[in-house]
Structures are given as structure tokens and as C-alpha cells.
Homo-oligomer: A and B are copies of this chain.
Amino acid sequence: MAEQVETLRRTPLSRDRVLHAAVALADEAGIESLSMRKLAQELGVVPMALYKHVANKDELLDGMIDVVVGEIDPPVSDADWQPVVRRRILSAREALLRHPWAPIAIEARNQATPAILGYLNSMVGILRERGGFSTDLAHHVMHAMGSRMLGFSQELFDDSRRAGRSGPADPEPPAGFPPEAAAAFPHLAAIAGAAAHDDASVVGPGCDDQFEFEFALDLLLDGVERLRQQGWTST
């Protein structure tokens, strides 16, 4: 009878419940101590039950990332590109501060999740549509602000990370920008397309990371030099 009560009381699992419980657990105990077993215990369930809702731990982490990205406010409506971008980035920062494990988790994955691609895509859209940026400038700006936007490395997602021994058995292409995603993220596709002009592969790295890095670095250095020349001295 007690068992029956317990059974009745327990809300059934769902992907959403699993994901949110995982986020809560990572928030309070740190990502490195999040395990399938502890998560299951938290949910009052046996570890293997989780696998009916997420394929494996990596997919769980992807889902957790998407929960965090989902907390970023949508763009406000405003005439100017600058305040829109600014507010959105500050909102992203707040989400990441609420979940300090998120940048690590994001950086440790080698593929952007759809939610991240959506976020980045909408950022490009703001630049293009609200600011009238050219495709190329929008591209460079995305590289320059990448670390502000998501709190992590400038080499957003390249395939050289995680050099695996998967070796020659890997059947899929480098997949810098899979064609099926182009429809969902048109702005990103435009950027990738423009950058791939002077380069054999249509997908794949497709942009000159070294150039992008130096572009962003020089933008920063020039800004700093301007401050310095203004005799900038105090807070």
C-alpha cells in the first residue's frame, strides 16, 4: 500500500523533467559531480530509467545546454542594432552566471547544439537587418564577439578540437555547416557561404580562422590604443 502511494505520488519522468533536474543538480553540486546515478537518485528512479528519455550522458549535456540557452531573452524591439545586441548579450551573461558550469559544458562539446545555432543565427540577423551590416562584416563581428556572446573560446566550433582516434572509419564529412541546417539558420548559412568562396570545400572550416582572430585582436587593440591616447586614467 505504501508502495502504491509512492507510485501515485511520483510524477512520471519526462525528458524535460530529467533535463531540469540535471541543470539544478549541476547548479548546486558542479558539473563534474553530475552523474547519471546521482541524477536518477534525485528523481527517485533507477539509473537506467533515464535512458528512456536521453540517449546517453552526452545527449543529456546537450539538453542541459539548450535549457540554459533557452533562458536567454529574445531580442527586444528597438530601432538601433547596438542596444539590441548589447541587451541580448547581457541577458546571455545572466543566464551563464546562473549556471556557471555552462561555458565549460558548451566548450567541451565539439558541435553547437541547435539552440546555440539559433541564438547565433538571430544575432547575425540583428546585425544584418537592424544594422545593415554586410555579410562579411557581420561574419567578422561574430568572431570578434563570440566570446562575449557565449562566454568561451573564440574558435567557436571547429573540428580540430577533440582530435579523436575515430580515424578513417568516420563516414560523415567535416560538417562545418551541414546543409540541412542551412534552412533553419539562414543568416549563419549566408556567412558560411560567403566565406567559402575562396576555398574548395563548400562546407568545412570555410573561413580563415587566423584572419578572424587577428581581425578581432586588432579591433580590440585599436580600441585600447584610442582609450590610451585619450589619457584614460581612472574608473
Give the chain B neighbours of A93 by CB distance below 8 A: 213
Does A76 lie at the interface of the complex (its beta carbon under 8 Å from any beta carbon of B)? no
CB pair A233–B100 under 8 Å, yes or no, is: no
CB pair B153–A217 under 8 Å, yes or no, is: no
The count of chain A contact residues (Cβ–Cβ below 8 Å) is 61
Give a binary string over A91-108; 1 marks a CB under 8 Å from any B CB, 0 the rest.
Answer: 001000100110110011
A165 closest partner in B (C-beta): B29
Secondary structure type dominating chain A contacts: helix
CB pair A164–B30 under 8 Å, yes or no, is: yes
A146 closest partner in B (C-beta): B147
CA gap between A85 and B225 in the complex, in Å? 12
CA gap between A132 and B218 in the complex, in Å? 19
Give the chain B neighbours of A141 by CB distance below 8 A: 224
Chain A positions near chain B (C-beta within 8 angstroms): 27-33, 82, 85-86, 89-90, 93, 97, 100-101, 103-104, 107-108, 131-134, 136-137, 141, 144-145, 147-148, 151-155, 160-165, 211, 213-214, 216-225, 227-228, 232-235
Report 6 cross-chain contacts, Cβ distance below 8 Å, ordered by A residue: A90-B213, A90-B217, A107-B152, A137-B233, A144-B224, A148-B216
